[in-house]
């Protein structure tokens, strides 16, 4: 791909540990991004790097082996190997919409913008897991209540910062490197929030970009199960202690910590009532939280050295990319449509598949590891969970509605719809 005027080169950094299959899926999604000049830096354990290198484009990836369970230090390794003007971050259990970088990069045309963050959709692929927030020295987020889909450049207010989410954020590389990147004292949790506070203190502006979307699955790790049931809260406690020491007035820390513990206990009790953990697990996990906090009170942090620039230069990913295609039909044709989608992906096309049944089933969206987006649900079921529970739709009207819901994020052209549906759509405007 050749770089277009006004669009910065971007390094996409993916950190992974003990999740090779999730990493492969994320990298397949990243390889389909519609953006003229981006490279991919994978920081992972040996199993993850083996999975990444086995992909058809694996030899084009920048790879860094790193085994230590420290998200901040791993991200800093990625920054040190990044040569783009902007560094974007996505988790290994996330997949970006096709237009992710196209939208996320746009605010950097303004020189005062140092950071940008997009929206994150949860496991069903439709409900938002994270939207716009600000954050203060307690580490608690506050919704910003932004409306519309256009990017908004925000100036931090006194005592607050603009929050970015770790699986969908980007920064000017020079600003990030000069600040020393992420603080390795945060091995897990609050690492990006600490960076947000430091950016705000330095007077940098952050853009919130609603159309820059990532789908995030919360895959299993050593802190939680695949169902988000906590396994260990000690590192969360340690990171909270460090964050409060750095950013919260001393006279407030005890009350903030007490409220945080109460929130964690409520979360654990909820899991206990649901049958996910036993009463003894609640006590064990809360002990771990307190022990982690005590350890975090003694963990060192300080000035972060400036990060070096990649010596091997910018290495853009160049995957032959065919056209985007839309495949759609009724549920009884699902096997044929999925086969068609897999074949289209093998040919380098970018398929979006819509399968509707004559039911009221809620819709879901996911990225198939074979390389296509799949939406399923009932003609009369909700996609946006704020819709009324049951609405009458014909097939064509429902297809137009769902196509338009994802078109901007995925850079889908209206011409991908059948002519008869486009004609109806224009007539209704």
| pLDDT tens, position by position, 155-173 | 988 889 999 999 999 999 9
292 in any annotated domain: yes
Same domain (yes/no): 156, 49: yes
Same domain (yes/no): 210, 266: no
Same domain (yes/no): 89, 185: yes
Average pLDDT of the chain is 93
43 in any annotated domain: yes
| Average pLDDT of the residues in 6-14 | 94
328 in any annotated domain: yes
What span, in angstroms and rounded, lies between the C-alpha atoms of 377 and 360? Answer: 8
368 in any annotated domain: yes
Q: What is the pLDDT of residues 176-222, one digit of tens each?
A: 999 999 999 999 999 999 999 999 999 999 999 999 999 998 778 88
The number of domains in the chain is 3
Same domain (yes/no): 240, 203: no
**How many Cα atoms are found within 13 Å in the side-chain-facing hemisphere of 311?**
0
2 in any annotated domain: no
Over 70: is that where the pLDDT of 1 sits?
A: no
Centre a 10 Å sphere on the Cβ of residue 279 and count the other Cβ atoms it contains: 10
Last residue of a domain, one of 183, 216, 249: 216
Scanning 303-384, the segments in alpha helix (DSSP H) are: 334-346
Centre a 10 Å sphere on the Cβ of residue 178 and count the other Cβ atoms it contains: 13
226 in any annotated domain: no
- pLDDT value at position 240? 98
Same domain (yes/no): 210, 240: no
**How many Cα atoms are found within 13 Å in the side-chain-facing hemisphere of 107?**
26
309 in any annotated domain: no
Q: Token pair of 311, please?
A: 């010596």
Number of H helices, E strands in the chain: 12, 17
What span, in angstroms and rounded, lies between the C-alpha atoms of 387 and 393? Answer: 13
| Average pLDDT of the residues in 106-119 | 97
Same domain (yes/no): 282, 392: no
**How many Cα atoms are found within 13 Å in the side-chain-facing hemisphere of 184?**
13
The residues that bridge with 12 in the sheet, in sequence order, are 40, 88
Last residue of a domain, one of 281, 296, 311: 296
What span, in angstroms and rounded, lies between the C-alpha atoms of 427 and 424? Answer: 5
The domain that holds 98 is classified in CATH as 3.90.550.10
307-to-63, 64, 82, 390 alpha-carbon distances in Å: 18, 15, 10, 54
Same domain (yes/no): 116, 239: no
Q: What is the pLDDT of residues 22-48, one digit of tens each?
A: 999 999 999 999 999 999 999 999 999
Which residue from 362, 354, 355, 356 is spatially nearest to 387, judged by alpha carbons? 362
290 in any annotated domain: yes
- Domain containing 359 equals 324-428
Same domain (yes/no): 208, 330: no
Over 50: is that where the pLDDT of 2 sits?
A: no
- Helices 234-247, 191-201: crossing angle, 10 deg rounding: 10
Same domain (yes/no): 57, 100: yes
Same domain (yes/no): 329, 289: no
Same domain (yes/no): 135, 269: no
What span, in angstroms and rounded, lies between the C-alpha atoms of 276 and 260? Answer: 21
Same domain (yes/no): 238, 203: no
Residue showing tokens 């490279």:
39
- pLDDT value at position 260? 97
The residues that bridge with 91 in the sheet, in sequence order, are 15
Scanning 159-278, the segments in alpha helix (DSSP H) are: 173-178, 191-201, 234-247, 250-273
Q: What is the pLDDT of residues 54-96, one digit of tens each?
A: 999 999 999 999 999 999 999 999 999 999 999 999 999 999 9
Over 70: is that where the pLDDT of 385 sits?
A: no
Last residue of a domain, one of 150, 185, 216: 216
Scanning 32-117, the segments in alpha helix (DSSP H) are: 46-53, 71-80, 100-105
CB 376 within 8 A of CB 398: no
């Amino acid at each position: 791909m050749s770089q277009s005027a006004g669009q910065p080169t971007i390094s996409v950094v993916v950190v992974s540990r003990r999740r090779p299959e999730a990493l492969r899926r994320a990298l397949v999604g990243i390889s389909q991004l519609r953006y003229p000049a981006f490279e991919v830096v994978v920081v992972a354990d040996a199993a993850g790097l083996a999975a990444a290198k086995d992909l058809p484009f694996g030899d084009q990836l920048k790879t860094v082996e790193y085994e230590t369970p420290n998200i901040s230090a791993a991200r800093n390794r990625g920054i040190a190997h990044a040569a783009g003007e902007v560094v974007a971050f996505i988790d290994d259990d996330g997949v970006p919409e096709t237009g992710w970088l196209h939208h996320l990069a746009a605010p950097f045309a303004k020189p005062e913008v140092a950071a940008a963050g997009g929206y994150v959709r949860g496991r069903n692929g439709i409900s938002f897991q994270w939207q716009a927030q600000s954050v203060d020295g307690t580490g608690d987020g506050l919704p910003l209540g932004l409306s519309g889909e256009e990017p908004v450049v925000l100036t931090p207010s006194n005592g607050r910062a603009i929050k970015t989410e770790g699986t969908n954020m980007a920064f000017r590389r020079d600003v990030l490197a000069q600040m020393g990147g992420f603080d390795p004292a945060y091995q897990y949790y609050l690492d990006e929030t600490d960076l947000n506070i430091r950016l705000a203190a330095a007077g940098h502006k952050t853009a919130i970009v609603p159309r820059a979307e990532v789908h995030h699955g919360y895959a299993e790790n050593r802190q939680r199960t695949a169902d988000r049931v906590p396994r260990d809260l000690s590192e969360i406690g340690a990171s909270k202690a460090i964050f409060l020491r750095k950013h919260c007035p001393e006279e407030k820390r005890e009350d903030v910590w007490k409220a945080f513990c109460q929130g964690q206990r409520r979360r654990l009790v909820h899991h206990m009532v649901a049958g996910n953990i036993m009463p003894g697990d609640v006590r064990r996990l809360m002990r771990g939280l307190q022990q982690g906090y005590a350890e975090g009170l003694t963990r060192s942090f300080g000035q972060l050295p400036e990060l070096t620039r990649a010596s091997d230069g910018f290495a853009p990913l160049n995957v032959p990319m065919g056209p985007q295609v839309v495949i759609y039909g009724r549920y009884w044709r699902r096997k044929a449509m999925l086969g068609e989608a897999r074949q289209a992906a093998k040919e380098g096309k970018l398929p979006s598949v819509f399968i509707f049944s004559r039911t009221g089933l809620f819709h879901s969206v996911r990225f198939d590891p074979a390389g296509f987006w799949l939406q399923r649900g009932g003609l009369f079921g909700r996609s946006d969970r704020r819709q009324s529970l049951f609405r009458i739709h014909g097939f064509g009207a429902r297809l137009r509605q769902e196509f338009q819901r994802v078109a901007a994020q995925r850079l889908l052209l209206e011409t991908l719809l059948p002519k008869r549906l486009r004609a109806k759509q224009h007539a209704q405007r």
